[in-house]
Structure 1
Amino acid sequence: MRWPMRLVRGLFGVLLALIILFEEWGWVPLQRALAWVGRLPGLRWLEGRIQTLPPYAALVLFLAPTLLLLPVKLLALWAIGQGQVVLGTLIILGAKVVGTAIVARLFTLTRPALLQLAWFAHWHARWISWKEALLAQVRVSWPWRFGRMMKTRLRRAWQRTRARWKLD
Structure 2
Amino acid sequence: MKRHLKHALELAFIPIAAAVVFVEEVLLRYLGLAMAALARWPPVAWVEGWLRQLPPWAAVLAFAAPSLLVLPVKLSAVWFAYHHRYGLSLASVIVGKMLATALVARLYRVLHPSLEKLSWFVRAETWLFGWRDRIYGFVRALPAWQKAVALIRQLRFWVRGLVSAVWSR
1:31 maps to what in 2?
32
Give per-residue Cα distances to partners, 1:72-98, cap 9 Å, x unaligned.
112212312321111111111100111
CA distance 1:65–1:13, shift in 2 (3 Å) = farther
Give per-residue Cα distances to partners, 1:56-86, cap 9 Å, x unaligned.
1111111111121022112212312321111
CA distance 1:38–1:136, shift in 2 (3 Å) = same
Cα deviation for residue 151 of structure 1 reads: 0.8
Cα deviation for residue 26 of structure 1 reads: 1.7
CA distance in 1, matches of 2:36, 2:158: 32
CA distance in 2, matches of 1:3, 1:83: 43
1:58 maps to what in 2?
59
CA distance in 2, matches of 1:148, 1:28: 16
Q: Which moved more, 1:60-69 or 1:27-36?
A: 27-36
Unaligned stretches of 5+ in structure 1?
none
CA distance 1:13–1:150, shift in 2 (3 Å) = closer
Map 1:149-164 → 2, pairs under 5 A: 149-164=150-165
1:84 maps to what in 2?
85
Aligned residues: 168
The answer to whether the 8 A contact 2:14-2:139 is kept is no
The answer to whether the 8 A contact 1:23-1:100 is kept is no
1:106 maps to what in 2?
107
CA distance in 2, matches of 1:60, 1:137: 34
The answer to whether the 8 A contact 1:115-1:121 is kept is yes
CA distance 1:143–1:77, shift in 2 (3 Å) = farther
Q: Which moved more, 1:43-52 or 1:17-26?
A: 17-26
CA distance in 2, matches of 1:100, 1:69: 10
Cα deviation for residue 4 of structure 1 reads: 9.7
Query: Structure 2: which amino acid aligns with 1:166?
Result: W
The answer to whether the 8 A contact 1:28-1:104 is kept is no
CA distance in 2, matches of 1:163, 1:146: 26
The answer to whether the 8 A contact 2:18-2:145 is kept is no
| RMSD between aligned residues | 2.4
Cα deviation for residue 148 of structure 1 reads: 0.8
Once the two structures are aligned, what percentage of the paired residues are identical? 29
CA distance in 1, matches of 2:9, 2:78: 24
